[in-house]
Amino acid sequence: MCIGIPMQVSAVEPGHAWCEGRGERRRVNTALVGTLVPGDWLLVFLGDARETITTERAVEVNAALDLVLDAMQGLDACGDAGFALPSQMTTEQLRQLSGQT
């Protein structure tokens, strides 16, 4: 399984960016995301930036990852994941989610 990690750009170089997130700093390939500036947020999979994201989205993904980590450690994972689960959505919301407008 591959999990996307939100990371914030701290420095940019041709084809790569130095990013920080979830307690680590790493050099990330940026070929798929275009021009970046320090402060931008990326969703990083296995050392490659796959998309730029907003600060709000980075907070949501980090909250979800915190819940997963808590559950894996046997802790009570009852925080806010930052998104609605499909089981809690209305029929109309599910149609929109699946592209059936």
Find residue 8's DSSP bridge partners.
20, 41
pLDDT of residue 94: 82
**Residue 93 pLDDT:** 83
How far is it, in rounded angstroms, from Cα 66 to Cα 45? 17
| pTM of the complete model | 0.73
pLDDT at 69: 84
Q: What is the pLDDT of residue 29?
A: 98
* pLDDT of the residue at 86: 66
Residues of the chain with pLDDT under 70: 1, 76-87, 101
Give every CB contact of residue 98 below 8 A, 6+ residues apart in sequence.
none
Which among 51, 53, 79 has a CA at the least distance from the CA of 65?
Answer: 79
